[in-house]
A and B are shown apart, each in its own frame.
Chain A
Amino acid sequence: MSVDLGQFHDVFFAETREHIQDMEALFVSYQPENIELESINRVFRAAHSIKGGSGMFGFSALTDLTHLMENFLDLVRKEKAELTSAKIDTLLAALDVLSVTVDAYENNEALDNSVISECKQQLSHLLDNCEHLEQADTDFGFFNTDDSDDFGFFATTEPSTDSPSNEPHDLHVHVATLTEESTNISTPANKQAMQQSIRVNTDKIDNLINIMGELVIADVMLQQVHCDTPKEHTQIHRALELINANIRDMQDAVMSMRMMPLSFIFNRFPRLLRELAKELNKEVNLDITGAETEIDKGMIEQLVDPLTHLIRNSIDHGVELPSTREEIGKPRSATVTLAAQQKGSYIYISVIDDGMGLHKQKILETAYANNLIKSMDLSDEDTWPLILQPGFSTATTVTNISGRGVGMDVVVKNIEALGGKLDIISESGKGATFTIRLPLTMAIIEGMKVACAGQTYIIPMHNIVESFRPTKEQVKTITDDYLINIREQYLPIVALHDLLHPEAYKPHPEESIMMIIEVGHKRYCLHVDNLLGQQQVVIKSLEKNYKAVPCMSGATIMADGSVAFILDVEQLALQTLQRTKQQLQHEAVDE
């Protein structure tokens, strides 16, 4: 009977990637003075699993590479070889080759044989060196690898410390939690705390989330009925309340299925840091806290680039050279902290360094020279966001790590695309903190319902700073346009009527509601007819059956089953700007 192994490929590739990441984390955190046998065992097992799986599927390049790694690690495990920093570099390089090879196999691309054979040579070289050492101090040349309780024949099978339930061969159920595999190397004691997990196709989970979305909408409708039902019907009220509570619980549970611990990406940073610090001759420790914090799967990959950039920035610009640090009485090694936590419905991820902090004067001078600001007299809070402007860089020398002035604005763009925000705190001489704030999930958001020309629109709550009815004194007129003066600040007005319902009656600002909207670090006032209340909304795509609509980021279904559009507050501002420009051009032509 022939079995189609192809169906297991995806599982194999996914698991291999996890193993590679796991190995990388362990190598990076490895300290020669503090050898933990268990961590070597884990790396060994990971290499062994890849070898086993690749052998089964006939991915011979992977088998060969992991075989060599495994042999070497086996020697390390038996204390016949020493794991020095240089050897770790070789192994890390080999992991890179493994990754590339996995990608090539998965995409059916040609393998880079020269790289693979070079890597094999490097690994064999490691082994050769060890074998000399080994032969010098063991008596039994032939059986030198079997001083554990398994025999020479089985030297490459699972180490006996492994329990059967941990068999990494099983392609469907694997026993591990990502949090556990974070930078803290687990000790045998907390191995029991590992949770059981099942691999589920993401399509199935997404489908479940869609159905959940429908259920939330139905629940909002039911709650409407709840309000309208006479008080006498206590049983109906009780049942409706129960359903509501259960649906909310279920929503949390379903949403948590899409969640992944941040350790999934945090684990990459120890290596990045190690390499950067080496390159820049700096001494930096990485401290990771809150890696178990969970975040939506869709967001996690999008965070890699912004975080990489922030960490590079901290090491390159923030952290001083060891000698300088000693001179000013700081410990030689700097500390960069990567911290994550969940507060309310937001996730906060911070990159904190204890370096020199942002140079306020330099930032102000550069901003002034580039016409970004009119006056040099700015508060700290107003100064730091300047570095997020496109093309802004105060670095005196451009390195290949940072300083080209592209980057921070891209970081902000990436974060905003996820509905997030970047905050900066800095203290001269003490360090800087960059904090990314992200909504917990992108599929369901808190929204404010607003009315405009008889239609209901939704504005994401995270963009709203405040809402108010302006007084006559607050409204200022410049030519034909209004400005709103709020707390000594003039904000431009974006009128929803002008953009979406030009034919409808537009009430005077004093008769309507102004909402202060924040996009990036810019604010404007959105002119709407009225506020209709807050509601959880499930984001639905307009592009699925129709096409993208200017100024709308999606749609949602209201309690009565009708459709309401979710406004894209950034595009609203851009469109208003364009209109104003066009009007000015027309006027110029008319004159």
Chain B
Amino acid sequence: MADEEPKNMSMFPLDAKSYHIMHEIGSGVSGVVYKAVCIPMNSAVVAIKAIDLERSRANLDDVRKEAKVMVLLSHPNILRAHCSFTVDSQLWVVMPFMAAGSLHSIISSSFPDGLPEPAIAIVLKEILSALAYLHDQGHIHRDIKAGNILVDSDGSVKLADFGVSASIYESHPSFQWCPSSSSSFCNDMAGTPYWMAPEVIHSHVGYGIKADIWSFGITALELAHGRPPLSHLPLSKSLMMRITNRFRIEDSHYKNDKEKKKKKFSKAFKEMVASCLSQDPSKRPSAEKLLRHPFFKNCRSVEYLVKNMLQAVPSMEERFKDMSINSDSNSPIVKVRRVSGWNFNEDVLEMDPVFPTENDEKCTINCVQHHGEEMEDKACCPDSIVVEVNRINAKEGEESPKDVCASPPNSTAVPKQLLIPNLVSLLSSLDVQRVMVKNVLACCGGMAVDEEKLRDQREQQLLGVVQRLQRTVDELNIQLQQELRRNAHLEAALDCIKKKGSAEEGNESELNCA
């Protein structure tokens, strides 16, 4: 089904009439993905991504580059467009239909706690082979994540969505495509924030192919646990922690009693992921090198995926239907809610639609539970790393009241149904705070003592600590703002120089010709 020889592309007709749209299988900010049949080609099944050019935030030049990339890449693990053409103000990209949908959708419907390790190895190996090809071609994907990994019914795995990919051979850097509709913070950044590498956040350092390796590591964690690390945190905090912190495969960010008992990962896997998540991009191995890592040595064939993963998964149609039904009641307030992690799925190949309200609520509640358990865990094992994590968590705790305070004024005029989620999140963040305070107390001097004096003293200490942490958070915030501003300046300066450069070049060649 997904067999694509370069010559096939000319066979697909370039008009809407030749395709019969069956139903929607996914949607994103810029458009919708349909399952369709191509009538003149024996009703071959295809996926059509319909991008609304009128609404799309990408400028036409970016759309052109994406279409070009998708036509010129040819690799068994890369989803290649059959053809593309415009239908009124829509761009239709006709692609092979990947019957099992995205891994994100597979995970959320059937493997909420992550995939078994052999399946992870197969998927990652296929993706690495795609990445090695892409990087060799001088392309950076910039949005590696489970939502962009598609699986067909025969178990074949393909990397999709080149909406934000960049070519290091193209001279004009057009990195402005904003993947999010609501966060001005992301204006200069491409990719989906939870998967984003630190040097992409520090965007003045520039992008390199090693940023893809980072996102690949995060995707490995996502496949292993069912979600990317830090995804329970609000985005800006997740970004901050990315800069200051390190991940490990069994990181406390995931720890959860149930999971801990069940999940055991091989040493090779942990080591492989750790190498991808090195803060220093130059220390991350290339895709080529990763393919030779022992973790992939005894990797099984894709048939394993068919037998062990795909059989457990409901059809894509059913998955999409479920999501649509669930979302109906809440959809009107989608835009009012704050950003959720999955809301940043710009791609339309993501077979799961994004419904922030639903997910968000669940997410907040989950987050509280994780926090609670995490904290108790930590209290009984005074390990240095643990303390560090606690400190960062405590910082986070300091910030949450602000978020909460900000929301009530907006919601005063809102009906009950709208208020309830807000109140739930208020309650949960209060819970989080309570746990935090308890925890910091514990850290400061073991379990609480009854004596009033000591307690007062501790409270003073605690206040001091809290204030210091607050200051650190503020300082980091300021630094971040400064970095962003400096980046903007630098970019403006660069533009200026470029313009001057090209003007001079123009003049020069004019002289030459005269």
Partners in one complex: no
Spell out B's residues near A (CB within 8 Å): none
Spell out A's residues near B (CB within 8 Å): none
